[in-house]
Amino acid sequence: MLAKRKMSLTELSEKVGLTIVNLSILKTGKAKGVRFDTLEAICRVLDCKPGDILDIS
């Protein structure tokens, strides 16, 4: 989604209010969980739905 929106992780970090480190952990799939308000903020900024950015495998 970041590539589709032509947005950097730094720009997303600033708009969502999370550190680049935390977003990087989410992006690489190393996070054990994500808060709903965090997911909502990311989706709002990227104009997408949770299913567009989550991969449950």
Question: What is the predicted pLDDT for the residue at 55?
Answer: 79
The reply to whether the predicted model has a pTM over 0.85 is: yes
Is 14 within the bounds of a domain? yes
Instruction: In whole angstroms, give the CA distance from residue 8 to residue 39.
Output: 17
Is 1 within the bounds of a domain? no
Is 30 within the bounds of a domain? yes
Is 25 within the bounds of a domain? yes
Our count of domains for the chain comes to: 1
Is 17 within the bounds of a domain? yes
Average pLDDT per run of 10 along the chain, which is 57 residues long?
A: 94 96 92 93 96 83
Question: What is the predicted pLDDT for the residue at 12?
Answer: 96
Is 3 within the bounds of a domain? no
Is 4 within the bounds of a domain? no
Name the residue with tokens 């054990």: 32
Distance from chain centroid for Cα 3: 12
Instruction: In whole angstroms, give the CA distance from residue 48 to residue 30.
Output: 21
Instruction: In whole angstroms, give the CA distance from residue 29 to residue 3.
Output: 17
Which residue range is the domain that position 37 belongs to?
9-53
